[in-house]
Every structure is written in C-alpha cells, then in structure tokens.
C-alpha cells in the first residue's frame, strides 16, 4: 500500500514534465513518422485536406535525390569535427583544471564563443576567411600563398565546409571543456596521488586513471557533439546557404528546404527520418565505444 502510494506520488510529481515532453517531443516525433509515409504538401494544406498515405514513395524520392545524397555525404564529413573537438576540449579542461593565478579568467575566456550568437560570429569569421582576410594575409606573410593565388575560404568548394567546421569547433570547445572540467573535478585526488606514489608518470596517470574515469562524460560529450554535427544548419545558412555548388549542403539543410521552402512536408519528414536513423546508428556506435566497462579479475 505504502509502496503503491510512493509510486503514485512519484508519477504525480513527474506528470507535468511528462505531459510537456509528450506534447512537445514525443508527439512531433511520432507525427513526423506518420508524415514521412504520407503525401502532404502546401497543395493539400490549401485544399483543407490532411495527409494521405503513400507508403514508401517519399523515401524513394528523397533517397534517390542526388541533392540528399550530397547532403548526407557532407553531414558525414562534418563528423570529422567530433573527435578533434572532444580531444581538444578534454586537453584544455585538463589544462585549466589547476589552481593557477587568473585561471578563472581563462575558463571564462574559452567559454565566450559558446555564448556568442552565430550571426555575430559570422561577421567576424567572414573577415578572417575573406580573400583579403587574416588567414590569407598570414599565409602571404609566411610565403605559403602568393597574392594572386589568394582565395575566399568560404567561396572555394574545397575549403568552405572545413572553414565552417572550424567555426563549429571554435564555438563548441568551450562548452565541452566545461563539461569535462566538471567530470575532472569529480575524480578523487587520492587516486592520482596513489598512482604518483607508485611511480606512475603524468602521462600514465592521464591515460590509465583520468581517461577511464572520464568515460561517462566522454560518452555524453561525444554523443552531444555527434548529434550537433549531424544537425548543423545555422552555420550553413549564415555562411554559405549550402553553396558554393552544394559543397556545404548538409542533410538537415535538405530537410529544411523540403519542408519550409518547397513546403513538401511528407518528403521533408522522410528526409528527416534518414538523418534521425544515422543519428541513432552513430549514437549506438558511440555508446559501444565509450561505455563504462566493468573491470573484473
């Protein structure tokens, strides 16, 4: 009786959050699944009709569209940023996890890009990447690039995606650094001290103690950044709009264009399901690679 009451009380407490989650997350997800198998465009909307079942037609159209394939390839390329971002954030977290003078200033400084709006960041990075911008000036100064061979980094098909990826990296590392910092500070210092007494070097301590104990944080951070990389849209819109010649056209940009520019909600939903499936698979791989293994023996 008491247990039942406790359970009911717990659910009653959870109810408001569950309702919100159901209305704003679960329902849209389920409705998206239904839409992906339906014909529903602005034409149906204008005629006051609802979605009508078309089976796999949307999937066939979307998955055979070269533009969607380009989007998927670019989105997968974008994942390159994930390991680099995680390793760098972890190293910076280790670096600022000490009681040095003015360390709070550095921690705050690294976090500033996180709270900088993408529009503002875009203005700054456009200057950096411009044909007569900072990068080319530096490369010309070093003699790597001649004045005649200078190019706009966001205009060149071979560099545009990487240039935007670097902005994602720049904006993201402060956020993950803070998460890693929290993880590092939860590791008992006794373990570190004991290992050092046993003669372990700093590097050994890092790889044998710090990294294994940081696995839960690593899993969360790499999962978050994988999904964020897959969902990249704002940066693309602000910097290149998917160009030049679709070299920065990502899968989510395709979803957005289908649903909110062409107003083909069915195909947009099907394209979104493709992205969600990739996200799910990558999350699983991520979990398998970073899950906490029980040490036995």
Partner 1 sequence: MKKSVKKVALVSLALISTGLTSSAFAQQKTQIEFWTWYLSPKFDNFIKGVIADFEKQNPNITVKWLDKQDTIERDFQATIALGQAPDVVNLWNDSTAAAVQNNLLVPITDLTPLSTLNRLYYSNVLNIFKHDSKFYGYPWYGYVDQGVMMYNSELLQKAGVSISRIRTLDDLLNASKTIKDKTGAYGWLPPVSDPNGASFLAYFYLDGLPITNASGQAVFNSPTHAALLQKYVDLMKGDYIPQDLLRKEAFQVTNELYSQGKVAFMVGGPQSLNRVRDSNKDIYSKTKITSAPLGKAKVQTGGAFSLVIPRASKHQKEAALFALFMTNNVNQVKFANVVPIVPTTKAAKNDPSFKTTSQDPIEIATARVAGTGGLINPGFASPKNTDVVYKNFNDNIQAAFLGRKTAQQALNDAVTFWNANAK
- Which residues contact partner 1 (rule: CB under 8 A)? 41-43, 45-48, 130-131, 151-152, 154-155, 157, 239-241, 243-246, 257, 260-263
Could you tell me the smallest distance in angstroms from the CB atom of residue 133 to partner 1? 11
Q: Which is nearer to partner 1, 19 or 43 (CB)?
A: 43
Task: Rank residues 32 and 246 by Cβ distance to partner 1 and give the closer one.
Answer: 246
> How many CA atoms are closer than 13 Å to the CA of 1, on its beta-carbon side?
0
Q: What is the Cα–Cα distance from 210 to 191, expressed in whole angstroms?
A: 9
Quote the least distance from Cβ 6 to partner 1, whole Å: 41
Contacts of 259 (CB under 8 A, 6+ apart): 265, 267, 268, 269, 272
Residue 131 or 202 having the CB closest to partner 1: 131
Give the rounded distance of the alpha carbon of 91 from its chain centre: 19
CB of 160 to partner 1, least distance (A): 9
Residue 289 beta carbon to partner 1: minimum distance, rounded to whole angstroms? 37
Q: How far is the CB of 270 from partner 1 (least distance, A)?
A: 16
Helical (H) or strand (E) element with 44: helix 42-46
Q: Which residue has the tokens 């023996």?
A: 297
Following DSSP, what letter does each residue of 94-162 receive, concatenated? Answer: HHHSS--TTHHHHHHHHHHHHHS-HHHHHHHHHHHHSTTSHHHHHHHHTTSS-STT---TTTSTTTHHH
Q: Are 209 and 258 in contact (CB under 8 A)?
A: no
Query: Smallest gap, in angstroms, from Cβ of residue 122 to partner 1?
Result: 11
Q: Which is nearer to partner 1, 152 or 279 (CB)?
A: 152
For partner 1, give the closer residue by CB, 21 or 43.
43
R_g over Cα of the chain: 24
Backbone angles phi, psi at 167, to 5 degrees: -65, -40
Q: Which one, 136 or 290, has the nearer CB to partner 1?
A: 136
Nearer to partner 1, 125 or 176 (CB): 125
In the complex, the smallest distance separating the C-beta of residue 2 from partner 1, rounded to whole angstroms, is 46
């Amino acid at each position: 009786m008491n247990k039942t009451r406790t359970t009911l009380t717990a659910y009653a407490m959870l109810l408001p959050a569950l309702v919100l989650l159901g209305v704003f997350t679960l329902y849209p997800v389920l409705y998206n699944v239904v839409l992906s198998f339906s014909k529903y465009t602005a034409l149906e909307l204008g005629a006051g009709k609802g979605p009508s079942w078309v089976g796999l037609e949307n999937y066939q159209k979307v998955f055979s569209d070269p533009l969607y394939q380009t989007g998927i390839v670019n989105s997968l390329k974008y994942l390159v940023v994930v390991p680099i971002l995680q390793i760098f954030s972890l190293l910076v977290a280790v670096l600022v996890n000490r009681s040095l003078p003015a360390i709070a200033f550095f921690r705050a400084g690294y976090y500033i890009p996180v709270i900088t709006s993408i529009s503002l960041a875009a203005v700054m990075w456009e200057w950096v990447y411009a044909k007569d911008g900072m990068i080319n000036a530096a490369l010309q100064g070093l003699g790597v690039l001649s004045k005649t061979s200078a190019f706009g980094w966001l205009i060149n098909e071979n560099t545009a995606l990487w240039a935007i990826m670097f902005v994602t990296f720049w904006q993201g590392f402060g956020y993950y650094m803070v998460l890693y910092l929290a993880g590092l500070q939860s590791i008992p210092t006794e373990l570190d001290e004991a290992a050092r007494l046993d003669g372990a070097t700093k590097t050994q301590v890092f790889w044998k103690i710090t990294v294994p104990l940081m696995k839960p944080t690593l899993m969360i951070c790499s999962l978050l950044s994988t999904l964020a990389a897959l969902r990249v849209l704002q940066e693309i819109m602000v910097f290149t709009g998917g160009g030049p010649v679709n070299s920065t056209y990502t899968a989510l940009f395709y979803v957005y264009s289908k649903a909110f520019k062409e107003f083909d909600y069915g195909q947009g939903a099907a394209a979104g399901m493709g992205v969600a499936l990739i996200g799910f698979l990558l999350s699983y791989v991520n979990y398998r690679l970073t899950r906490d293994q029980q040490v036995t023996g």
